[in-house]
Amino acid sequence: MDGDEFKSRFLPFNGLIYRISFAITCDMQEAEDIVQEVYEKLWKIRETSATVRHDEAYIISITRNMALDRYRRKLNRQTIPASSLYDLCEEESEDNNMEHKEMLGNVEILLASLPQSQQMAMRLRHFSDLPIPQVAEAMQLTQTNVRQLLSRARRTLKEKFENIYAK
Amino acid sequence: MQNKIEILIDRFYKGETDSKEEELLVNYFTQEPGSLQGDADRNVIQLLSSAKISVPSGLESKIASMIDRWEVQEKKRVMDRNRIEFRKRIIGVAASVLLVIGIGFWYQYRNVENQSGLKETFDTPQESQEAVMEALQLFSQNFSKGTGAMEKADEQVDKTLKIIDQLLNENVVNTESNHTSQNK
């Protein structure tokens, strides 16, 4: 498989890889690094990966594993409190749109109180804008399970706003 | 319309909406005038829709150029490997040829060494002369040995003949003396 063939087959997935990586690491630079790593791996195994039937599922799988590895390594290095994911995003974000960062931060603060699986489902669906089937693939869950996680998370967020306005 | 939105909001909280339906909700809350204050649904949907991340614009071209670089590097590696393989092959062939030539030379040299005693000609007249002299000398020595032995044998024969002569003379003398005594 030459470069052009490889590009036409795998390059369209760069956005998906980036979105999943970002949803897991909450770090734009890390997400870009993971995209490069994933493509490096795909390049190395491109002859054997010719037999892979579902490129998308395969790419989501290796992206998830790489992103989780990096995220865990980072957590071990920095010992980040679970509630301060927003700080991590704010510190290392290259996004100059402060309003967007503030919004992202607000959501992160709200999400931080949710269970990890609900947070991940919400990030993948709403931050990374992935459709339910891809969220399910990235989380290795069924679509029904993902819908349940999203449902609980959305209801909890609504309750939080209602509580704010009730005061 | 309002009823449809309410159904969609209900499904949204149940986790049943798909991407298009959620987009409809976002559009509704963005376009429809209203305050965030006191409206939990509007807050949730607008907050979530505004948190969408965008993929960096240069990412695809960055990856594309990386792939081009890898391809060039890989082609270079393959070419280097082929060149090394070719060199190895050439060295192998050269070594084999040298070995064959070496064996050929050694074999021929050994035959020449074996045949050197049967050499018929000499390169220089001096060598030829020396060889002739040596051969003649050898012949002379052996011939001398032969003649020496012959001389010894000749002497022995002479001695024997002398003894025989002596004995014959003695017999003749004895017979003559007997004849004279009988006649007397």
Q: Which residues on chain A are in Cβ contact (under 8 Å) with B18?
A: 131-132
Give chain A positions within 8 Å (CB) of B48.
107, 122, 126, 157
ipTM of the complex model: 0.75
* More confidently predicted of A85 and A2: A2
A96 versus A146: the higher-pLDDT residue is: A146
Say which CATH number the domain at A57 has: 1.10.1740.10
pLDDT of residue A46: 84
Distance from CA of B107 to the nearest CA of A (A): 54
pLDDT of res. B181: 67
Query: pTM for the whole thing?
Result: 0.63
Position B147: which residue type?
Answer: T
Q: Would you say residue A78 has pLDDT above 70?
A: no
Q: Output the pLDDT for position B120.
A: 64
- Residue A8 belongs to a domain: yes
Does residue A116 belong to any structural domain of this protein?
no
The predicted structure's pLDDT at residue B92: 94
pLDDT digits (tens, 9 = 90+) for A19-69: 999 999 888 899 999 999 999 999 988 877 666 678 889 999 999 999 999
The boundaries of the domain holding residue A50 are 1-79
Q: Which residues on B lie below 8 Å from A14 (Cβ)?
A: 55, 59-60, 63
Is A161 an interface residue toward B (CB < 8 Å)?
yes
Query: Do B78 and B86 meet the contact criterion of CB atoms below 8 Å apart?
Result: no
Query: Looking at the structure, do residues B88 and B129 belong to the same domain, yes or no?
Result: no
pLDDT score, position A165? 74
pLDDT recorded at residue A102: 61
3-class secondary structure, A78:
helix
Using the predicted structure, report yes or no on whether residue A141 has a pLDDT greater than 80: yes
**Residue A54: what residue type?**
H
Q: Which of A13, A39, A117, A27 is nearest to A71 (CA)?
A: A27
Contact B40 A158 (CB under 8 A): yes
- Quick check: is A35 in a domain? yes
The minimum CA-CA distance between A102 and chain B, rounded to whole Å, is 9
- Crossing angle (nearest 10°) for helices B2-14 and A143-166: 110
Which of B104, B120, B136 lies at the terminal end of a domain, its last residue?
A: B120
Same structural domain, B111 and B127: no
What residues contact A45, with CB distance under 8 A and at least 6 apart? none
CA gap A157, A118 in Å, rounded:
11
What domain count does chain A have?
1
In angstroms, the Cα distances linking B18 to A36, A125, B8, B44, B165 are 30, 10, 10, 16, 158
Domain interval for residue B66: 59-120
pLDDT at position B88: 93
Contact A155/B43, CB-based, under 8 Å?
A: no
Residue with tokens 């669906």, as numbered in its chain: A125
For A147, the closest chain B residue by CA position comes to: B15
Q: What is the pLDDT along chain B (184 residues), one digit of tens a residue?
A: 678 888 999 999 999 999 899 999 998 888 877 766 668 888 888 888 888 888 998 999 999 999 999 999 988 998 999 999 999 999 999 999 999 999 999 988 887 766 655 566 777 888 888 888 888 888 888 888 877 778 888 888 899 899 988 888 888 777 777 777 666 5
Six token digits for residue A38 = 């994933």
- Which residue pairs, CB below 8 angstroms and at least 24 apart, start in B62-67? B63/A11, B63/A14, B63/A35, B63/A36, B63/A39, B64/A7, B64/A11, B66/A36, B66/A39, B66/A40, B67/A3, B67/A6, B67/A7, B67/A11, B67/A39, B67/A43
**Does residue B149 sit in the same domain as residue B133?**
yes
